[in-house]
Amino acid sequence: MISVEHLTKRYGRHTAVDDVSFRCEPGTVTGFLGPNGAGKSTTMRMICGLTPPSGGGATVAGRPYRELPNPGLEVGVLLDASAQHAGRTGREALTVAAATMGVDRRQVAAKLDLVGLNGVAAKRRVRAYSLGMRQRLGLAHAMLGDPRVLILDEPANGLDPEGIFWMRGLLRDYADRGGTVLLSSHLLREVEAVADRLVVIGGGRIVAQGEKDELLAGGGTLVRARDAAALRGALERAGLAVTDGTDGLLVRAAAEAVGQAAADAGVALTELRAAGSGGLEQLFLTLTAGASTKEAVR
């Protein structure tokens, strides 16, 4: 279990993470979403006691991370797949970690096997690894102590589609067996398939969080017409909030109200449906644009 409360990090006048609070429960996968530079990695480093927070705090398995006697046995951490000594072999990197934690050496081979790094790959130096192989090694490293909690920063980076599919299965299975997973990504699609809950962060602040299904359903209505300008005019006259979606106009209103507004203005629609994940994706796209969206989501 992970509990984050009012976590804040300021660098000089810049606030990288601003009053972030969320919880990750056992048996769930929490997707931590946000564009690059939103504060995901800083938040995760603060959870793991590597970056001192300016305010607030976090506990893992009921305690602040730095007070865990042997963290590797309780929390598996993968913050950067490239954070391995380039001159060590993959197997040696895991052996060093196993020795630190006091884990049986046989676990090294078992976890290498689990992540699909074969004997040849394990004997190569990390320098020669592709990013995908480093991610697999990092995942093996995180799971080495059979922890109950996994904290993974962008674990899908560099994995091929088959690898991403494999990782989803691995994490889903891990959560189904009672584990707690927090994984970050800047790609909604990547976590959509595996996460139960989503925490969306932008500009250091949480802009949305909740059950994935709820968040995806609450995305408003997508509407299209051949005459987009007329449609937009009609909707705005009806007092509805309109934004440009990826494939049509996105309206924060029920389909009925949107259809009525279009009918009143005599605009012929070509499409009218619940936006689904398009809404979240839209939110996601606009996160990079500025602060205005944060207001819209509230």
Binding site for other proteins (CB under 8 A): 26, 41, 45, 48-52, 65-66, 68-74, 77, 79-80, 82-88, 92, 96-97, 99-102, 125, 141, 146, 148, 173-174, 177-179
Q: Name the minimum Å distance from CB 31 to other proteins.
A: 19
Residue 229 · residue 260 · CB < 8 Å: no
Q: Name the minimum Å distance from CB 223 to other proteins.
A: 44
The closest alpha carbon to 34, from 286, 284, 255, 221, belongs to: 284
**Residue with Cβ nearer other proteins (32 or 174):** 174
**Residue with Cβ nearer other proteins (93 or 253):** 93
The closest alpha carbon to 123, from 93, 78, 160, belongs to: 93
**Residue with Cβ nearer other proteins (5 or 92):** 92
Q: Name the minimum Å distance from CB 187 to other proteins.
A: 22
Q: How far is CA 78 from CA 19, 34, 154, 207, 208, in A?
A: 23, 18, 9, 25, 24
CA 47 to chain centroid, in Å, comes to 15
**Residue with Cβ nearer other proteins (20 or 47):** 47
**Residue with Cβ nearer other proteins (20 or 171):** 171
Question: Which two three-digit tokens encode residue 248?
Answer: 């049509």
Q: Name the minimum Å distance from CB 51 to other proteins.
A: 5
Q: Name the minimum Å distance from CB 146 to other proteins.
A: 8
The closest alpha carbon to 190, from 222, 157, 218, 213, belongs to: 157
**Is the sign of the CA dihedral 273, 246, 268, 226 positive or negative?**
negative
**Residue with Cβ nearer other proteins (73 or 297):** 73
One-letter amino acid of 219:
G
Q: Name the minimum Å distance from CB 41 to other proteins.
A: 8
Residue 199 · residue 170 · CB < 8 Å: no
CA 67 to chain centroid, in Å, comes to 26
